[in-house]
Each structure stands twice: as structure tokens, then as C-alpha cells.
Amino acid sequence: MVEPVHAFGDFLLEPGSGLLRRNGKSVAVGQRGLALLEALLEAKGGVVSKTDLMERAWPDTIVEESNLTVQIAALRKALGVAPGGRDWITTIPRIGYRLVRAGAGAGEADIVFPARPTLAVLPFANVSGDPDQDYFADGAVNDVITALSRFKSFAVVSGHSCGYKGRFPDVRLVAKELGVRYVLEGSIRRSGNRLRIATQLVDGGSGTHLWAETFDGEIDDIFDFQDRITVGVATLVEPHVQTAEIDRSRRERPGSIAAYDIYLQALAKVSTESERDNAEAYALLIKALEAEPDNALLLSHAAWALEHRHTMGWPSLGPDDVRECAALARRGLEHAAGDAMVMAHCGVALLQTAKDYDWAVAVLQSAAEANPNNLMVVVRAGLGHLHCGSLEEALAHFHRANRLSPGDRGAHFSLCGIADVHVIRGDYAEAIAWAARALASNPNFDPTLWVLIAANAHLGRTEEAHRYLRELKKLAPAATIARIKAGQPAKDPDRIATLLQGLRKAGLVFRHANLALTHF
């Protein structure tokens, strides 16, 4: 693959050759300087956090932040000044750095456009009147920051290091000072042996409250309570930030073709579980990859879209969706940089399409260890065990996902997974109970209907099986046993056998007469 060449001002950076040229002459910036410069250029004028820059220049190495400061200073000196007399690299206080976009006007150059959403976590206010409870408030916040930092979809800034402890400023002022989009704040109150922590997520630009939650508990086992707070906040903040970003993209940048905006548009479409939306999402992602071929987020979601089509048995989008999906997944893993969500999507793609079972399960398990609080990551780890590992482990992951799920968002994945385990074990009545809950959460998820059709057929409930079969044909007219079988892992054929037998009993055709099985 030919790596993209970055041009800015009089400079040309060729990542493949490791050369930075100015008007054709080589500029000495060193290996780490080149890595930092490439990261800043890839952000296209957006802010790159200090953590991301340090990971880029010192991969898999723990270094002091002062090393980054030294390298940035050296890079500034080598680049000189940008048009207009400013430094090429701008410091965003307490967050990171950005590269000034050539050609930007004076006013435009001062505007900060983060490469990804940023969240500030302020110190929790101790409103119990007992100063001795400050330690618990500080500890709870630190745990929350650690948990939120596992999510790669947004950057986290600690308000403790910014002098906000003991102050109650307007969150819009905080957001402006820290250069963040979202602010998480909270309070702690103790009454006897009871403890209450209230948290809320606020849009830093408008001051609008996006979400609020209160956690109550006994403090006899203080560490368990801290864990509950941490998991609760982390798993609730991420989807609300994601939803707000999608809304923001639609509202404020409807015509944008930036990679992040395209990712948001595609995410909203692929999440509907609709064949048409899935195809539109894939087209968007492929368009974005033309500009950023090594963007792990885009690669993994393109792989997800194709994998989902294959798993659902929907019509192909290209001459060989399976091969293309596997290629996208492998490229995504090459650039994942520890992103649990990227690893999870790519792992499932390897499992469902490439049938690379051992590698896929290892990737999915690593993703769950990297972020055990991400709902979709945990669900996908359960999927790996469902097809290729321990059914007990699969159930453990799916039940954990149920506890993590905020409301009904994404609950159908884990509920259907539990139902599938019960089908494999022959517990058809139990499978129907769980699948019914999954159907209530999302009526457009084909595998839920597979379970309901098969389980009812095995129990002799022919009328119910036929009713759900009609619903499946409305969602997926081309569905056949052959298509469903082709989209499932086959490391242990017994795992899918009972489901397929039930579908056959209900009357689902093996394949359509005008389609050759070799198509799959």
C-alpha cells in the first residue's frame, strides 16, 4: 500500500521514507519528531491529546510528559513560523497540541476543532458537611477517570489538575478553558452508613444536561460501592457522548465529509440492523477510507458492516464480501493501537467470515480485557465463546453485558446471545423467554427471529414458528438455511445444528431454486 503524502506550507512529509522536505531540501527532525508531526497532520487541524502523541512517539513505553515537551519544542524550531508569523504547532492548555492549517484566516486559526470529542471530569463536590469524606469523593473520581480513559472514542481530562477542586464554575466556562465538548460533574453526600453520589453529563457549549444519575449504597464495603459507581458512570457516559456526537454531526455539520463525521453517519445507519442502511453505511465508510486508508475506526466499522451482511445472509455488496471483510479486519487490527472497540469489531469479522477461530477468540478476549466496561466489547467476547469456546463463559459475558447496558440500548445482542445458548442446550422454553425480551428491545435483529422460529418449532408450536418465520421473510426476503449457515462459524458444527434443524422444521427453505450454493 502506498502511504499518503502530507503537504503543508512549503513542507512535504513522506511517511514511508521517513523524510520531511522543505522546498525539496531535507529537514532534520528525528524519528520521534516525524512520528509526532505525522500524528498532528493526520488530525487535519484537530487537537491531538498528549497521551495519543506519547503513544505515537514512544509506543509501548512509559515516559515522562517532559519528553513530549522537549520533542515538540525541537519540532517547532525545525519548522519555523507558519504564514502570518505564528508557530506551526499550537498548544492547547492541559490537553495537547494541534497543527495550524495552512491558509486559515486569523480568526479561523484560533478555533479548536478536536479530532475526537473530549470530556472533562471535575472534582466531585462533598456536600455532606464532613471534610473527612473528601478522600472518598477524590477516589471515586479517579476511578471513574481511569475507567473512562479505556474508551478510545473520546479523550478524558481531569479537572483535579486544573484547579477546579472546591470551585463551582459555570460548566460552559470550564469547557472553554479546557477546550472540551463535555463536562462530567458530581456530588457526594453521606448520612450515617448511607452514601449517595449524584453525577451529570453536560454539553460544554450550551450547558444542556445530557444525562444524570444517582447512585445509593451502604459504605460498609466501600470498595464494592466505588466499583459500582465507576462501572455505572463509565458505561452510561460513553453511549450518551456517542449519541450527542451523532446529533451534533447532523445538526452542525450536515454536509461535512470529514472522516469522523462520516464514521458517525455510518454508525447511526449500521446500528439500525437494516439491510438498506447497512449498505449505505458501508458506502460511506469506503468513501472515507479513500482519504484515510489506515484509519482503524473506519476499517473496523467497514468490516463490521460486511460481517453483519454475511452473518444475516443478506445479498452481497461486492464480488467477494467475505474476502474483503477479512482484509478490512486485518488492516484494522494493524492500526488498532489498543482500541478495544476496533479489536472487537475486527475479531468478530475474523470469526464470522475468515473463520480464523483461534486468532479471533484471542483478539476478542484481549478486547474485553482492554475495556471490560464497553457493552459491545463484552457482547462480542461472549459471541466468541458462544461459537468457539465455553458456553458458561459466553453466558457470563452476556449477563455482564446486560448489567452494563444503559436501558435497552444494544440489549438485544446479549439477550439474543443468552437465548442462543439455551437453544444449543435444548432449553427451548428458556430460549423463547430470552428471545422475546430481545425482540422487544429490537424487532429488526434477524438472529432473534431465528431463535424464536427454531425454538417454537422444536416444541411443536407450529403456528408460533410460522408467525415468526413470516416476520423474518419481511425483514430478509432472501433468507435461507444455506445463507444463515454460511454466515456462522463452523469450528463446532453442533453449536449451530439445533438452530438450523428448527428452522428446517418450521419450513425455511435450504436455498432458493435460482441460487447456486457455491455463491456462498
| pLDDT for 285 | 93
Contact 171, 207 (CB under 8 A): yes
Task: Round to whole Å and give the CA distance between 136 and 123.
Answer: 11
Q: Which three cell numbers stand for residue 312?
A: 444475516
Of 53, 82, 109, at which residue does a domain stop?
109
280 located within any domain? yes
Phi, psi of 202 (to 5 degrees): -125, 140
Check residue 123 and report its DSSP letter: P
Check residue 278 and report its DSSP letter: H
- Both 320 and 270 in a single domain? yes
292 located within any domain? yes
398 located within any domain? no
DSSP 308-322: HHHHHTPPPSSTTHH
- Both 411 and 497 in a single domain? yes
Contact 172, 148 (CB under 8 A): no
Q: How many CB atoms lie within 10 A of CB 358?
A: 10
159 located within any domain? yes
| pLDDT for 520 | 28
| pLDDT for 203 | 85
Task: Round to whole Å and give the CA distance between 22 and 8.
Answer: 10
Task: Round to whole Å and give the CA distance between 177 and 156.
Answer: 15
CATH number for the domain that contains residue 225: 3.40.50.10610
DSSP 343-396: HHHHHHHIIIII--HHHHHHHHHHHHHH-TT-HHHHHHHHHHHHHHS-HHHHHH
Sign of CA dihedral 74, 80, 85, 89: negative
Cα 411-413-414 angle, rounded to 5 deg: 75
Q: 320, exposed or middle or buried, with CB in 10 Å at 0-12, 13-18, 19+?
A: exposed
- Both 17 and 129 in a single domain? no
Of 85, 109, 133, at which residue does a domain stop?
109
- Both 159 and 177 in a single domain? yes
- Both 222 and 262 in a single domain? no
| pLDDT for 59 | 87
Task: Round to whole Å and give the CA distance between 482 and 313.
Answer: 8
Give, for all 520 residues of the chain, the pLDDT tens digit. 334 457 777 787 766 667 788 866 788 888 898 999 988 888 777 778 888 899 899 988 887 888 898 899 889 888 888 766 677 888 876 678 888 764 444 333 333 334 567 788 888 888 877 776 776 777 777 778 777 777 777 777 765 545 566 555 678 887 777 777 888 888 888 777 788 888 888 888 888 888 888 888 887 666 676 677 777 777 777 777 777 776 766 665 545 556 777 887 888 888 888 889 999 999 999 988 888 888 888 999 999 999 999 888 888 999 999 999 999 999 999 998 888 889 999 999 999 998 999 999 999 999 999 888 888 899 999 999 999 999 999 999 999 888 776 555 578 999 999 999 999 999 999 999 999 999 998 898 999 999 999 999 999 999 999 999 999 999 889 889 998 998 888 889 899 999 999 999 999 998 865 544 333 2
| pLDDT for 448 | 96
| pLDDT for 517 | 37
Task: Round to whole Å and give the CA distance between 348 and 356.
Answer: 10
- Both 86 and 159 in a single domain? no
Q: Which three cell numbers stand for residue 192?
A: 450515617
- Both 167 and 276 in a single domain? no
Task: Round to whole Å and give the CA distance between 450 and 243.
Answer: 29
| pLDDT for 137 | 73
- Both 308 and 216 in a single domain? no
Q: Is the pTM of this model over 0.85?
A: no
Please name the residue that has the C-alpha cell 461472549.
382
362 located within any domain? yes
**Nearest Cα residue to 252 out of 49, 113, 107:** 113
466 located within any domain? yes
- Helix, coil or strand: residue 210: strand
- Both 169 and 101 in a single domain? no
pLDDT tens digits, 434-451: 999 999 988 989 999 999
Task: Round to whole Å and give the CA distance between 414 and 447.
Answer: 11
Q: 185, exposed or middle or buried, with CB in 10 Å at 0-12, 13-18, 19+?
A: buried
For β-strands 25-26 and 194-203, DSSP reports them as: unpaired
- Both 223 and 131 in a single domain? yes
Instruction: Say how many domains are in the chain.
Output: 4
Alpha helices in 25-116 (DSSP H): 30-42, 50-57, 65-79, 106-109
- Both 210 and 191 in a single domain? yes
499 located within any domain? yes
CATH number for the domain that contains residue 72: 1.10.10.10
CATH number for the domain that contains residue 495: 1.25.40.10
Of 77, 109, 141, at which residue does a domain stop?
109
Q: Structural domain of residue 271, as residue ranges?
A: 253-372
* Termini Cα distance of the chain: 29
441 located within any domain? yes
- Both 503 and 442 in a single domain? yes
